[in-house]
Amino acid sequence: MSIWMILGLLLVLGLAVAAIVDLRDHKRGGHKVPLPSRADLHADALLTHNQPTTVAQAFSFTP
- Would residue 25 count as lying in a domain? yes
- Would residue 46 count as lying in a domain? yes
The range of the structural domain enclosing residue 53 comes to: 3-29+37-58
Rounded CA-CA distance 37/14 in Å is 37
Helix, coil or strand: residue 43? helix
Radius of gyration of the chain (CA): 24
User: Maximum distance among all alpha carbons in the chain?
Assistant: 68
Q: pLDDT of 8-52, one tens digit each?
A: 999 999 999 998 888 887 777 766 667 777 777 776 666 666 665
- Would residue 63 count as lying in a domain? no
- Would residue 50 count as lying in a domain? yes
Q: How many domains does the structure of the chain reveal? A: 1
Confidence of residue 7 (pLDDT cuts 50, 70, 90): very high
